[in-house]
Structure formats: structure tokens, C-alpha cells
Amino acid sequence: MNFYMTFGTTDYLNDVKNSLESGESLLMFGEDNAVLMHETVDQSSFKSGKNFEVLDSNGDLSKGKFAVLNNIPVTDEGRPVFEYRFSQRAGLIENEPGFAAIRVLRPVGSDTYVILTLWEDVKYFKQWQESKAYDKAHEKRGTSEGVDQKQQIFPRPSYVTTYYAEKTEQD
């Protein structure tokens, strides 16, 4: 499965979304831009953007109203280690209230993986961050077993971006 993201104005991305012939798409809004996500077995029809292969998938994109993208740069040498760690994830997030979908995305033509989680509302994401499932998912962080301790596989720091399904006044 392929996953594509392109960025731009709302009007432009609505036109692009309406021209898509297959797959599932989701238009979301950030602080400074909008993103159109497209999951399909076909090749991208986007003129620019980011391309990924879906490594792990659970849930329905269309149910997501709040998206969290954990962008994680990984060296070429670190890819097998990183992918193995995510293949071993506990999968507890799928049982959390308000969870809509998760996609673990391998970059094509880039070094930045994306762990995309979609939620029915931002409040559910915040509740998950306070949950035992979150603690379990991150229990090795900061330990010798944690992937975050394998600094040689991360060429630069990871970062998080968030998007909403509707334009809102964000605090």
C-alpha cells in the first residue's frame, strides 16, 4: 500500500482531492497549511509532496478528526532496527477510546519516517498520553533497550506535527 501527502491551500487541495480516482483521502488543516493524505495501491497523482510505503496499518482514516504525525529521521543503516522495533509494538493504542487509525510509514526518497495516529477528537489523544497504554508503548524510552538510545540511527531530532479535520481556532 502507498501513502502520499501533499501540502497547499485549501482550495487547491480540494480540487486535487476531487480529482483522485481511487483509494482513501483525507484533507486536514494545520496552523499554517493544509495537507491532503492519500492511501492507495496506485501511484501518486500529486505533483509534489511526500511518498511512503505503509509498513503497518490499523483503523479507518475517514474516522480521524485529529492527526498526530511523529516525523522521525532515520539513517539508512538504522532502518532495519527502526522497522523491527515498530513491528514489535504492543498494539495497545488501537484499544484506546477515540482511536481512529494508525499508519507506520516508510519514506520513499527521504529519510523521515512518519508514525501517523488519527483520533476522533484531540481530547482522546490527550487522554491517551495520560494512559497506561501510552506508558507501555514508551516504557523503554530512556533505557538501554530504547530505540531513542541508538543515537547513531537518528541523524537529527524527531518532530511532531498536528492537523485537524476542520478549520478551528487553535490555542
DSSP string, 65-117: SEEEEEEEE--TTTHHHHHHHHHT---GGGGSTTEEEEEEEEEESSSEEEEEE
pTM given for the model:
0.86
> Structural domains in the chain?
2-164 (3.30.70.100)
pLDDT given at position 170:
47
Q: How far apart are CA 5 and CA 41, in angstroms?
A: 14
**If we measure between CA atoms, which residue out of 141, 92, 146, 86 comes closest to residue 114?**
86
119-141 confidence digits (pLDDT tens): 999 999 999 888 776 777 667 56
- pLDDT band at residue 171 under the 50/70/90 scheme: very low
